Chain A
Amino acid sequence: MKPRRILIKEEYCIGCRLCEVYCITQHSPSKDIIRTYKGSEVRPVSGIYFEEKGSVSFAIQCRHCDEAPCIENCLTGAMYRDEKTGRVLHNRDKCVGCWMCVMSCPLGVIKIDYEKKKVVSKCDLCIDREFPACVEHCPNEAILLVDEKGERVEKKSG
């Protein structure tokens, strides 16, 4: 199946970069913003890229392509498609750090963990939660979640 995807409305991006803050927090061990930033734990790398030129800015993350070059080019099968959700995910245990995925990604949204020589960070659409953290916390709804038909999915309030 096709995954839900993130839709970027760059005309409403205000350049606050809070999406990065929340992405990092969500993928940290404690998932607590202050502990993530001020505590002793290792701070993960953001799965979302922020781009800015003049007044135009936006945040971009893995598109979970239908035909994903990162999967095709992965030597070990570490990069795979989750059958149930359609998401492109990364298995750290299988990863050997060849960085073919990084090279083949047309959008450049897969990041390298230089210390461990592995691919560490790419958007997983927040696997642990119903609603991605960047979408939920974007103060201006510049990052939206859309379903397989391209229609906006809104978080149920309450």
Chain B
Amino acid sequence: MAKAKNIAEFIIERDEKKCIKCQACVRVCSNDVHNYDEETEEILSDNIKCVGCHFCEDICPTGALTIRRNLSETKENAHWTRDYIYKVVKQASTGGILLTGMGNDRPYKNYFEHIVLNAAQVTNPSIDPLREPMELKTFIGRKPDRIIYDKTRGKYILKERVTNLLELELPVMFSAMSFGSISLNACKSLAKAASASGVYWNTGEGGLHKDLYPYADRAIVQIASGRFGVNVEYLEKAAAVEIKIGQGAKPGIGGHLPGEKVSEEISLTRMIPEGSDAISPAPHHDIYSIEDLRQLIFAIKEATSYRKPVGVKIAAVHNVAPIASGIVRAGADFITIDGIRGGTGAAPVAIRDNVGIPIEIAVAVVDQRLREEGIRNQASIIAAGGFRTSADIVKAIALGADAVYIGTAALIALGCHVCQKCYTGKCNWGIATQDPYLTRRLNPEIGAKRLSNLLRAWALEIKEMLGGMGINAIESLRGNREQLRAVGLNEVELNLLGIKHAGEAW
């Protein structure tokens, strides 16, 4: 057949008994799925256009809509699943790279689900976080190995102060999402929530919009291969600087914000002409080696008078531990490692689903490597890529991370239903879009509140888990792999993670 039709991924069920024909669904869908026929006074829905974002389902005042997956099955085949068949169909039609958004959705082994936590019983008491102090305060940045002080008349006076640290009220931050990849309202939501919750947000490679200046003291600003929006003010306003080498969703791949999304505001913020494509090259063309990276790190430190931590973000790849060690030795104050499940606004499916290694293992080997080399104090480790619950965070910290970045989880708090269509720019939730009809759907007041709620809820859960272990400060969990046990992992995995199997005592 010369022309193959795409199959509908979803089926829209409309309960006619409940539908009051208010047409809210018609008005809100950015994919023009729903249409009102004036003559028949009926609403017709075109399944094939539906991306499964569930916005209409949410907005429907009577609950008349249900979005279901289309179960139309191809012949059962464990190898040629429906997904793979239709990918081929699509590419045979378009001749192009398949694009997608969000993180890897393939069923790779999820190590978080093979790790269980400890609790205190008898020989030490568990601690009730409602009645006893439970500390989550975390510092990100370079720390000296020892304290130097003078003792005068019974009082200890510091001789060398520790500066340039980020102080977090809980070890969770919002990962890099640029203004451009997401809407300004989404950026505002993240920035407000980070400020209110005592954590940090990250500008991504999108520059710092003037509206976000009030939250700049809680911003980690990114310098990526396109250098968009980088100027002295950008560096001076920020709390910290992150050099982005790679990201988990597309290691080794650059970025491309199409010209049609480069509005006036984005053009001003990124310092590029309105309507021009914003292309981030795959590598930094001034960093072809570790010594080049060192130069950039120190150029930034010079530019900011050594007053801000400068970190480096890399994707978790095969050689992650030696690379991380090199980065620390090159002068980075923190290192961000983004695992294979890290999200993105747009990436080729083939890259997103096949390149990189899981964050659990990456964190474990990097922490171990830095300790073996005696340089763990010199840089903090921030883990990113697929953190879904407070328990994932607790496990990552016990494996050795200082803090984690959340991206997808934050967007879900803002409404995202992980439909993976970010790259279309038609995000109905007003997140991954610059369309003025759509961006207004994300009210940053609501967004910030919901994000703060999420952080608060996770902080409470982390405290409960810590208390259960008989620990009352997060630093006693960090790298404390004795609090972890594996269920169903093999010896190689256990060694890499540095944990014992369930059933093994201390």
Contacts and interface: CB of A to CB of B under 8 A. Distances in A.
B443 A22 contact: no
A55 B22 contact: no
A33 interface: yes
A140 B441 contact: yes
A17 B24 contact: yes
Contacts of A12: 440-441, 443
Question: Which interface residue of A13, A37, A137, A142 has the most chain B CB atoms within 10 A?
Answer: A37
Contacts of B24: 16-18, 21
Question: Which interface residue of A12, A16, A54, A139 has the most chain B CB atoms within 10 A?
Answer: A16
Contacts of A13: 440
Contacts of A11: 440
A142 B443 contact: yes
B59 interface: yes
A41 B445 CA distance: 39
B434 to A, nearest CB: 11
A38 interface: yes
A55 B59 contact: no
B18 interface: yes
Interface string B58-73: 1101100000000000
B202 to A, nearest CB: 25
B85 interface: no
A141 interface: yes
A33 B28 contact: no
A20 B441 CA distance: 18
A15 B28 contact: yes
Contact of B27 (A15, A22, A54): A15
Question: Which interface residue of B24, B59, B62 has the most chain A CB atoms within 10 A?
Answer: B24
Contact of B61 (A14, A15, A18, A54): A18
Given A16-B24, A37-B20, A137 B61 contact: yes
Q: What DSSP secondary structure best describes chain B's contact surface?
A: loop
A14 B436 CA distance: 10
Interface residues of A, number: 24
Contact of B18 (A9, A34, A141): A34
A141 B61 contact: no
B61 A22 contact: yes
B278 to A, nearest CB: 23
A21 B25 CA distance: 13
B437 interface: yes
B88 interface: no
Contact of B446 (A21, A54, A55, A141): A141
Nearest to B446: A141
Nearest to B445: A141
Given A17-B22, A34-B18, A140-B446, A55 B27 contact: no
B210 interface: no
Contacts of B441: 12, 14, 140
B21 to A, nearest CB: 7
A58 B186 CA distance: 21
B23 interface: yes
A3 B440 CA distance: 29
Interface in A20-60: 20-22, 33-34, 36-38, 54-55
Contacts of A142: 443
Contacts of B20: 21, 33-34, 36-38
A18 B59 contact: yes
Nearest to A13: B440
A38 B28 CA distance: 22
Given A17-B24, A21-B22, A33 B436 contact: no
A21 B18 CA distance: 14
A141 to B, nearest CB: 5
A63 to B, nearest CB: 22
A55 B436 CA distance: 6
A33 B20 CA distance: 8
B477 to A, nearest CB: 33
B17 to A, nearest CB: 8
A11 B23 CA distance: 21
Given A16-B28, A17-B23, A55 B443 contact: no
Nearest to B435: A55
A96 to B, nearest CB: 34
Contacts of B21: 37
A84 B11 CA distance: 52
Question: Which interface residue of A12, A17, A55 has the most chain B CB atoms within 10 A?
Answer: A12
Contacts of A54: 436
Interface string B3-23: 000000000000001101111
B148 to A, nearest CB: 52
Given A33-B61, A34-B62, A14 B440 contact: yes
Contacts of B17: 34, 38
A38 B437 CA distance: 30
Interface in B237-254: none
B355 to A, nearest CB: 37
Given A14-B441, A16-B28, A33-B20, 17 more contacts: A13-B440, A15-B27, A16-B27, A17-B23, A17-B27, A18-B24, A18-B61, A21-B20, A21-B61, A34-B18, A34-B62, A37-B21, A55-B435, A139-B58, A140-B443, A140-B446, A141-B443
Interface of B: 17-18, 20-24, 27-28, 58-59, 61-62, 435-437, 440-441, 443, 445-446
27 contacts: A12-B443, A13-B440, A14-B440, A16-B28, A17-B24, A18-B24, A18-B59, A18-B61, A21-B20, A21-B24, A21-B61, A22-B61, A33-B20, A33-B62, A34-B17, A34-B18, A37-B21, A38-B20, A54-B436, A55-B435, A55-B437, A55-B440, A137-B61, A139-B59, A140-B446, A141-B443, A142-B443
In the A-B complex, the 3 residue pairs with the closest CB atoms: A37-B20, A55-B436, A12-B443
